[in-house]
Amino acid sequence: MTATTTHRRLRTEIPGPASRALQQRRAGAVAAGVSSVLPVYVTSADGGLLTDADGNTLIDLGSGIAVTNVGHAVPAVVDRVRRQAGEFTHTCFMVAPYEGYVEVCEALAELTPGEHAKRSVLFNSGAEAVENAVKIARVATGRQAVVVLDHAYHGRTNLTMALTAKSVPYKHGFGPFAPEVYRVPGSYPFRDTPGVTGAQAAAAAIDRIEKQIGGDAVAAVVVEPIQGEGGFIDPAPGFLPALARWCAEQGALFVADEVQTGFCRTGDWFACEHEGVVPDLIATAKGIAAGLPLAAVTGRAELVDAVPPGGLGGTYGGNPVACAAALGSIETLRAQRLDRAARAIGDVALPRLRALAAETGVIGDVRGRGAMLAAEFVRPGTTEPDPALTKRVAAACHAEGVVVLTCGTYGNVVRLLPPLSLPADVLDEGLTVLEQAVRTEAAA
Ligand SMILES: *Cc1c(COP(=O)(O)O)cnc(C)c1O
């Protein structure tokens, strides 16, 4: 620990004895297939800090994978959840509805890009939302083909596994996968031929679609505006607008998977807004309800309403407690202007990451927007991925009590997803630990 530490409190090694004991119990009861980045067992969380079973306090630069955008245990969320849990926890919206569900859908209509009439339907997870966006697109267009990009991540259900690019660990051994899914190249500025513009990358994708599927067979092009698990890949300017324009010309739906990028994460309410792209359908989840399971598909009224009554839904979708959390979360994002807070995080972190890249030579690319930031680790002077170094940097941060996540097709990206409400001094401390970890591990 550094002498200036004020927020982290490391009482034991990480993980400490209490967490290790729980980890052992877990091994006897929990499926091995579900893994944890950092096996400290959390007992409370507050203000961007996690406290574990050993009394250690860690800085959270992951937000539970871009979920607790508003922070942990936020009063507006806690109060609404408590009240709702005391009133009723479930009726099933398909059996007997309630106001909270309607209110969330009204908020989504207001907040998502585009001034057109919109409808929403609520689910429990991001994968479920993406899957239902495809169902809607197929009914609305009467077509079947779904186009996705290299490096895409859309979830772990059968259909969304098919949409996801990376085999291990997401797909390997889990097939067969759903048919009528087509993968085309996207835009990855750091790894594309230097100088390729967004428009050119889109033209290459479109050419592939037209040759291999035919524009009139495409129900939807499903795109993460900034690719998440694939490596926080921010496409070159012009890529998304060109793809969206082509979809409109062909009668295919442009579906934005904003599960990770949504709810102020990138400094806008939704990442599509950055280039003025208005999706036909938008899938949201992670940041929507401060951690309670909730997801949504929002889209043009005539498209969403093409599915007849009974065609969409689920027992738990739009659970009243989750809706209460979403309303508290949205209220907090608005009241605290956390879109601006996200930009401020980027304004502080990006220059520091760039300086670190220049200093150490092991970071080939620094990218991202707002509070969705990444450093891609390579062998110095090349674009050759260095996943081993990436792993060591993350482990060194964890040992020092800073939760960072990795991602990327090549496993060589450290990503930062701090709560948008993270106080500046906590962010500063977290970044200082990361910088030191990179310096030490790069020299090792
Ligand atoms: C996390 C994620 C999903 C899947 O969401 P779950 O809630 O884990 O099912 C889908 N798309 C993107 C872009 C994601 O980041």
Segment 229-240, tens digit of pLDDT:
999 999 999 999
Q: Which of 297, 318, 335 finishes a domain?
A: 335
Number of domains in the chain: 2
pTM summary value: 0.98
As given in the structure block, the two tokens for residue 339 are 């879109």
Are 101 and 167 part of one and the same domain?
yes
Please, are residues 279 and 244 in contact by the beta-carbon 8 Å criterion? yes
Assess whether 140 and 190 both reside in one domain.
yes
Tell me: the pLDDT tens digits for 312-363?
A: 999 999 999 999 999 999 999 999 999 999 999 999 999 999 999 999 999 9
Per-residue pLDDT at 47: 82
User: Residue 212's domain spans which residues?
Assistant: 75-335
The answer to whether residue 98 scores a pLDDT higher than 90 is yes
Check which CATH number belongs to the domain holding 437 and give it: 3.90.1150.10
Same structural domain, 59 and 88: no
Helical residues (DSSP H) of 317-337, grouped into ranges: 320-335
Give the mean pLDDT of 56-81.
97
SS3 416: strand
194 CA distance to ligand 1 middle (Å): 30
Nearest to 162 by CA among 137, 184, 181: 181
pLDDT in tens, 13-40: 999 999 999 999 999 999 999 999 999 9
CB-CB contact of 233 with 188 (8 Å): yes
**Do 278 and 232 have their domain in common?**
yes
The CA 201 to ligand 1 mean position distance, Å, reads 25
Q: Quote the DSSP letter at residue 375.
A: E
The enclosing domain of 110 has a CATH number of: 3.40.640.10
| Cα–ligand 1 centroid distance for 373 (angstroms) | 17
- Quick check: 1 pLDDT over 70? no
Q: Which tokens hold the place of 96?
A: 């007997």
| Angle between helix 239-250 and 198-212 (nearest 10) | 30
Domain for residue 185, yes or no?
A: yes
Pocket residues for ligand 1 (CB within 6 Å)? 125-127, 130, 153-155, 224, 228-229, 257, 259-260, 285-286
Gyration radius of the chain's alpha carbons: 21
Parallel/antiparallel/unpaired status of strands 413-416 and 372-377: antiparallel
Q: Which atom of ligand 1 is nearest to the CA of 126?
A: 5
**Mutation pick for ligand 1 pocket among 260, 261, 282, 417 (CB with most ligand atoms within 8 Å):** 260
Q: Are 367 and 428 part of one and the same domain?
A: yes
Token pair belonging to 419:
């709560």
Q: Give the mean pLDDT of the chain.
A: 97
Same domain, 259 and 175: yes
Looking at the structure, tell me whether residues 174 and 164 fall in a common domain: yes
For residue 286, tell me if it sits in a domain. Answer: yes
Could you tell me which of 256, 228, 69, 220 has the C-alpha nearest to residue 145?
A: 220
